[in-house]
Amino acid sequence: MAVREAEPLGSLREVKEAGLDREDLLGIYRNLLITRGVEERGHILYRQGKIPGSFYTGRGNEASAVGVATAMGPDDVGTPLHRDMGVHVTRGVEPWRIFAQYMGRADGPTKGKDGNVHMADSKLGLLAMVSHLPAMLPVAVGCALAFRIRQEPRVAVGWFGEGAAARGDAHEAMNLAGVRRLPVVFICDNNQWAYSTPTHLEYPIEHLADRAAAYGFDGVVVDGTDVLAVYREAKRAIEKAREGGGPTLVECQTLRMEGHAVHDDAFYVPKELFERWAERDPLERFRSWLRENAELSDDEEEEIAGGVKRLLNEAIRRADESPLPDPASLLEGVYATPEDLDTPHHK
């Protein structure tokens, strides 16, 4: 069965019908710039020796992450991964706290207990990832089951990579979600590589989203470099889930534009592939779309870019002032206390 392939979003009118006004569009552009800027600055900090451990980026995936997060409701929850910085940015995590996290400082979301992207601000509806992939999918499904039991009109969004989809927990999560028609949306960041493994060694079907049919729900393939198409498909899937229509598997197609992490130069990815996908740079595509369809002027563009630059300069300065964590706080915040839990059961 051929899965549905999403159309690109065309005119400003269509976008308005999809629920976005001009201010929203400029906000999306800004979030894309912040996302890329955070990761570009991260590279510099890494080379300056200011980021311990490794450093991961989602270059090429900014539109997928920002598009999906823009479609989420304020009370929805999500489990973004190492390519999804745009989700944290769009949900409102302040960049200085992201830099503090990278640098292992006390003001990072994990308070210096992790220096990597295993972070999230639960107050913004995000759950921090663990390393094991795709272990957050069962967690997202568990959230959806809780929403069902509590009769809350909320949706959980679970992210996974196409490589991680080969593992059993992806199957178990999608099966349970399908059987119970839970309010969950599965977002596959299909960036064509799992470390050095290409897709033809990961799954033997044309589209990963073809699998949705086997779980009894819809699958859709979307160009992950087209922020508006991602937004529309994510919105459709999220609202369908909210209304009791069950899960959707949204496959966002991109290319991982850098190595797996900073230690990897991606020598195994054909150069032509990078060249081809560089022409579809998500930020550049959306900038051109805004100029052609929403009258983005030079002044506006400069104002937004300048504002982002100042924000990031200030963010790095502030993060650098954040202290390293006090060793005495090592065991604080590691386990949830009853006060942290807002379930009726614990009240």
Are the C-beta atoms of 324 and 104 separated by less than 8 Å? Answer: yes
Among 191, 248, 254, 322, binds ligand TPP (CB under 6 A): 191
| DSSP bridge partners of 78 | 126, 157
φ/ψ of 221, rounded to 5, equals -105, 130
Residue in 67, 86, 115, 161 binding Mg ion, rule: CB under 5 A: 161
Write the interaction track for ligand TPP spanning residues 159-188; mark x where CB under 6 A is met and - where it is not.
Answer: --xxxx------------------------
- What does the H/E/C string look like for 278-318? HCCCHHHHHHHHHHHHCCCCHHHHHHHHHHHHHHHHHHHHH
| Minimum separation from the CB atom of position 271 to ligand TPP (A) | 19
The residue among 107 and 189 lying less far from ligand TPP, judged by its C-beta, is 189
Binding ligand TPP (rule: CB under 6 A), the pick from 30, 256, 285, 287 is 256
Which range, of 3-11, 103-111, 155-163, 280-288, touches Mg ion by CB under 5 A?
A: 155-163
CA–CA separation, 74 and 296 (whole Å):
28
Contact 279, 4 (CB under 8 A): no
Q: Is 131 in the site for ligand TPP (CB under 6 A)?
A: yes
CA 227-231-233 angle, 5° bins: 120
Q: What does 83 bind: ligand TPP, Mg ion, none (CB cut-off 5 to 8 Å by kind)? A: ligand TPP
249-to-66, 81, 113, 115, 223 alpha-carbon distances in Å: 17, 16, 33, 31, 14
Convert residues 79-98 into a mask of x (bound to ligand TPP by CB under 6 A) and - (unbound): ----x---------------
Binding site for ligand TPP (CB under 6 A): 83, 131-133, 161-164, 189, 191, 193-195, 256, 260
Write out the residues near Mg ion by the rule CB under 5 A.
Answer: 161-163, 191, 194
